């Protein structure tokens, strides 16, 4: 019995030694791939065939991030330098925060003299939206400018002609004459949703073209006191001085908005920026190119919110509508018989609940066209027909 155990032990030892020799010298005999089989698996590493494909000219591999969107949109975003001739009250302008924000401030308070009246230069951005050389930017970027220069990302610089402005939406249209212009693709604001990724492209603080990313924080922001007609896209993508007039694009690089304003206590980005939807900017541009001005309806009334206190005091049967606080003499509303104290609840077929909604509904009616106002005068319901007029241009501030 002892002899059998000795023979078994010797045979086992020889077999293990043989296996060790074979696995070391001839691993393919054992069905293994040699030393490479012991390499650690690295997640995310490119396989050899992927590397070969990446090195192949003309083949685009998705790298993650939004570099493709930036590459598509950035060439069409330009820097704008608007020179403004000095005014007689340049000293008071130097103290204006809005003026300093867009045109800068030379020196400290009190360093200006009446003789220091050199032209001021404002910096902003713009977006090429047409092969014919039409650009969109903000009205406040070029307001009062005597000379406008545009710098493209390829280094070309040229003079721009002001086609027209619409201060009530803060949109301006410029034109440049250069061959081979890059043109941005327009997106659909209607498909934009809160939480979608967006990129802001512009020239903040004149440091050069910059791309920042964020999301759509809110849609249809109004009653901010920025413009007369407000329907902003709110985003947390960083927007700073110099970004005004630049592009807000979606993750495919399509233009969805024109950056226009920020909420800030310091002058820099705090994560609350506002952009004008491209649908609004496009309507303004087409109207400026076609008519030389934006065609908007106007009836000549002053508006106020209908408060619960007012409705209760006058025992009105409704609590939603727009209160008429004043009527301009000889205006369309006055001629039609609208009076202060009336409450408008509908314009044509559009129900209105706020002054902003009423203003938008009236402005959508083409000038010299007829419409009806459904209103409440005390306890009496009325319908008044009137012909709207062209909205007067706002007075320069």
Question: Tokens standing for 115?
Answer: 């003789």
Give yes or no: 140 in active site: yes
Q: What angle do CA 197, 203, 206 make, to 5 degrees?
A: 150
Q: How far apart are CA 282 and CA 135, in angstroms?
A: 11
| 297-298 and 389-390 strand pairing | antiparallel
Q: How far apart are CA 359 and CA 370, in angstroms?
A: 16
Which position has the token pair 């009236």? 362
Which residues 6+ apart lie within 8 Å of 309 measured at CB?
none
Give yes or no: 38 in active site: no
Among 166, 170, 250, 342, which one carries the catalytic annotation? Answer: 170
Among 244, 269, 287, 374, which one carries the catalytic annotation? Answer: 244
CB 285 within 8 A of CB 235: no
Q: How far apart are CA 210 and CA 246, in angstroms?
A: 10
Among 140, 166, 236, 342, which one carries the catalytic annotation? Answer: 140
| String of DSSP letters for 55-81 | TSTT-----STTHHHHHHHGGGEEEEE
Determine phi and psi for 29, rounding to 5 degrees.
Answer: -65, -25
Question: Tokens standing for 310?
Answer: 């007012």
Q: How far apart are CA 278 and CA 231, in angstroms?
A: 11
Annotated catalytic residues are 140, 170, 244
């Amino acid at each position: 019995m002892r002899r059998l155990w000795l023979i078994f032990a010797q045979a086992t030892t020889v077999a293990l030694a043989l296996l060790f020799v074979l696995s070391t010298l001839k691993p393919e005999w054992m069905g293994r791939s040699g030393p490479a089989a012991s390499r650690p698996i690295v997640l995310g590493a490119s396989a050899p065939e992927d590397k070969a494909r990446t090195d192949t000219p003309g083949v685009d591999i998705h790298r993650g991030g939004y570099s493709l969107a930036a590459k598509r949109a950035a060439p069409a975003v330009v820097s704008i330098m608007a020179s403004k001739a000095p005014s007689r009250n340049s000293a008071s302008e130097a103290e204006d925060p809005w003026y300093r924000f867009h045109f800068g401030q030379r020196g400290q308070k009190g360093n200006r003299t009446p003789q220091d009246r050199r032209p001021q230069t404002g910096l902003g951005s713009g977006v090429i939206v047409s092969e014919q050389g039409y650009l969109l930017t903000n009205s406040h970027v070029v307001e009062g400018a005597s000379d406008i220069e545009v710098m493209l990302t390829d280094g070309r610089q040229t003079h721009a002609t002001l086609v027209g402005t619409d201060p009530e939406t803060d949109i301006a249209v410029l034109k440049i004459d250069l061959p081979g212009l890059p043109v941005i693709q327009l997106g659909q604001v209607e498909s934009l949703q809160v939480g979608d990724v967006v990129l802001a492209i512009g020239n903040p603080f004149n440091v050069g073209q910059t791309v920042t990313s964020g999301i759509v924080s809110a849609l249809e922001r109004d009653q901010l006191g920025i413009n007369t007609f407000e329907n902003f896209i709110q985003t947390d993508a960083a927007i700073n001085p110099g970004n005004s007039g630049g592009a807000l694009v979606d993750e495919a690089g399509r233009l969805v908005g024109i950056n226009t304003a920020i909420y800030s206590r310091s002058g820099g980005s705090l994560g609350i920026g506002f952009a004008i939807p491209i649908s609004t900017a496009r309507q303004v541009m087409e109207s400026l190119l076609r008519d030389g001005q934006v065609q908007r309806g106007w009836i000549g009334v002053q508006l106020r919110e209908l408060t619960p206190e007012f409705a209760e005091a006058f025992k009105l049967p409704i609590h939603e509508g727009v209160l008429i606080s004043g009527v301009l003499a000889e205006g369309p509303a006055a001629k039609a018989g609208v009076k202060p104290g009336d409450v408008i609840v509908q314009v044509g077929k559009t129900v209105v609940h706020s002054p902003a909604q009423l203003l938008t509904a009236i402005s959508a009616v083409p000038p010299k066209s007829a419409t009806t106002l459904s209103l409440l005068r005390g306890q009496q319901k009325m319908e008044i027909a009137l012909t709207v007029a062209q909205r007067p241009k706002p007075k320069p501030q």
